[in-house]
């Protein structure tokens, strides 16, 4: 008989790592489910937020990182402010995303979200500010939906809402340096 939860597959260090990085007491969770009850996106999630917390407690690293839950988190922080045990669930989701990002683990179903994040950040790295047209264009190209939201484009353009040329800040090279040093610091941690 195959047990889904087998101590051999569990990473008992996982909870400690996530706990240390998020500075929140994951082992303190008593599974009341209030986070999942109030989550605006829980419906779309493979595992509900409370289940993710439970899985971290158990050390189910692989299942947690492969789930779409953290990528669907909208960072609305409702879970954190209502948690009776003062666990910062939103921060845990952030930590998990960074943890997965470092290791390059992205579940296929939500692969477009990290892609979006990457393009967004590259945008800022280049110009110091966001260039929406470039962002949306690149994103659609990379996710294979070149015509998504294409109907909204002209509407917004005629209302003077889209810049055709990106805004640049004067010292864009400074921003590149910040990106570089941040990456170094993250890496050394």
Residues 65-84 that bind other proteins (CB under 8 A): 72, 74-78, 80-84
State the Cα–Cα distance between residues 150 and 132, nearest whole angstrom.
13
The single residue among 27, 31, 141, 154 that binds other proteins, judged by CB under 8 A, is 31
109-128 binders of other proteins (CB under 8 A): 112-114, 116-118, 120-121, 124, 128
Is residue 105 a contact residue for other proteins (CB under 8 A)?
Answer: no
The single residue among 32, 141, 146, 150 that binds other proteins, judged by CB under 8 A, is 32
State the Cα–Cα distance between residues 108 and 114, nearest whole angstrom.
10
**DSSP for residue 169:** -
The single residue among 10, 37, 58, 142 that binds other proteins, judged by CB under 8 A, is 37
Residue 121 CB coordination number (10 Å) = 11
CA 12, 16, 21, 24: dihedral to nearest 10 degrees?
Answer: 130
Is residue 12 a contact residue for other proteins (CB under 8 A)?
Answer: no
State the Cα–Cα distance between residues 28 and 30, nearest whole angstrom.
6
130-149 binders of other proteins (CB under 8 A): 130, 132, 135-136, 139, 148-149
Q: CB–CB of 64/97 below 8 Å?
A: no
The single residue among 57, 107, 129, 142 that binds other proteins, judged by CB under 8 A, is 129
Name the minimum Å distance from CB 146 to other proteins.
14
The single residue among 33, 107, 134, 153 that binds other proteins, judged by CB under 8 A, is 33
Count of residues in the chain: 189
């Amino acid at each position: 008989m195959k047990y889904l939860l087998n101590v051999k597959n569990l990473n008992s260090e996982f909870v400690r790592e996530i706990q240390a990085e998020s500075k929140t007491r994951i082992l303190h969770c008593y599974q009341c489910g209030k986070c999942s009850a109030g989550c605006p996106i829980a419906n779309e999630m493979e595992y509900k937020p409370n289940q993710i917390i439970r899985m971290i407690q158990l050390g189910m690293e692989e299942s947690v990182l492969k789930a779409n839950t953290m990528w669907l988190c909208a960072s609305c922080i409702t879970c954190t402010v209502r948690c009776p045990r003062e666990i910062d669930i939103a921060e845990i989701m952030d930590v998990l995303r960074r943890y997965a990002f470092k290791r390059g683990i992205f579940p296929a179903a939500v692969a477009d979200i990290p892609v979006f994040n990457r393009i967004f950040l590259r945008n800022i790295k280049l110009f110091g500010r966001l260039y929406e047209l470039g962002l949306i264009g690149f994103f659609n190209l990379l996710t294979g939906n070149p015509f998504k939201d294409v109907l909204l484009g002209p509407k917004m353009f005629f209302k003077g809402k889209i810049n055709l040329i990106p805004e640049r800040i004067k010292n864009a090279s400074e921003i590149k340096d910040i990106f570089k040093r941040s990456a170094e610091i993250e890496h050394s941690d």
